[in-house]
């Protein structure tokens, strides 16, 4: 479970996140939506202790991320697919991550097979397409078999088969009782994938509800989203 309480972040005079409070619960896929500049990426970075909050806190199963031992066993994350050293192979990158968190090296081949990278696992990542880089990032997130997953735009660069695969994978992981938070700009994909939605705009929480409740009397999730975020685009 991820517990966010009164979370704020300022950069100079810019207020990026404004007193956010919500809980991401296990057993469902939670979509994290908002216009560009809404504060989604900043919030996810604070969850992972990559940015320090100006105020408030984030707890991962009751503890700050910085206090987690072997964090890849607790939290798997994909924020930016192209952060892998280009000279490393996919297998080499995953082996390095596994060793850093005392994860059995047998797990490396398991996630390579799971994400469909076996044919290119020995190649340097600098030659990967965006879709292949996304699959490697997803493999890294799954490496420690974590109970919590944070994924920012996981379908970016994937072909239709890959989109279908990640959609089913996320729902399966949630059904196993994991906490799954997915940020996306694709309304149609969130409508098929998520059971619960968090919507933010201007750094503030606009909605925290099951997807069926949020759509309500609107014709589609897209219509409900635009009605919520009208006036929230910076």
Query: Is residue 128 domain-resident?
Result: yes
Q: What percent of the chain has pLDDT over 70?
A: 98
Does residue 206 lie within any of the structural domains? no
| pLDDT band with cut points at 50, 70 and 90 for residue 188 | confident
Give the number of domains in the chain. Answer: 1
The pair of three-digit structure tokens given for residue 133, joined into one six-digit string = 């880089």
pLDDT of residue 58: 97
With 0.85 as the threshold, say if the pTM is over it: yes
Query: Is residue 88 in a domain?
Result: yes
210 within some domain: no
Residue 133 resides in a domain: yes
**Separation in Å, CA 126 to CA 26, 78, 88, 151, 196:** 35, 18, 8, 22, 36
The mean of the pLDDT values for the chain is 93
> Does a structural domain hold residue 233?
no
Residue 207 is assigned to a structural domain of this protein: no
In which domain, by residue range, is 140 found?
A: 75-145
């Amino acid at each position: 479970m991820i517990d966010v309480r009164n979370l704020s972040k300022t950069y100079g005079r810019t207020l990026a996140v404004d007193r956010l409070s919500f809980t991401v619960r296990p057993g469902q896929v939670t979509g994290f939506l908002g216009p560009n500049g809404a504060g989604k990426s900043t919030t996810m970075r604070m969850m992972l202790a990559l940015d320090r909050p100006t105020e408030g806190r984030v707890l991962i199963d009751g503890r700050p991320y910085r206090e987690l031992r072997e964090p890849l066993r607790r939290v798997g994350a994909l924020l930016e697919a192209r952060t892998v050293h280009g000279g490393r192979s996919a297998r080499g990158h995953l082996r390095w991550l596994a060793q850093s968190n005392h994860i059995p090296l047998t797990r490396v081949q398991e996630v390579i097979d799971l994400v469909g990278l076996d044919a290119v696992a020995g190649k340097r990542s600098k030659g990967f397409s965006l879709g292949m880089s996304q699959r490697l990032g997803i493999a890294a997130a799954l490496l420690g078999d974590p109970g919590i997953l944070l994924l920012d735009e996981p379908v970016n660069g994937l072909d239709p088969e890959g989109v279908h695969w990640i959609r089913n994978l996320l729902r399966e992981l949630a059904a196993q009782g994991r906490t799954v938070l997915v940020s996306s700009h694709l309304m149609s994909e969130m409508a098929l994938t998520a059971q619960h939605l968090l919507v933010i705009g201007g750094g503030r929480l606009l909605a925290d509800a099951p997807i069926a409740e949020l759509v309500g009397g609107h014709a589609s999730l897209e219509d409900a989203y635009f009605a919520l975020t009208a006036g929230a685009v910076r």
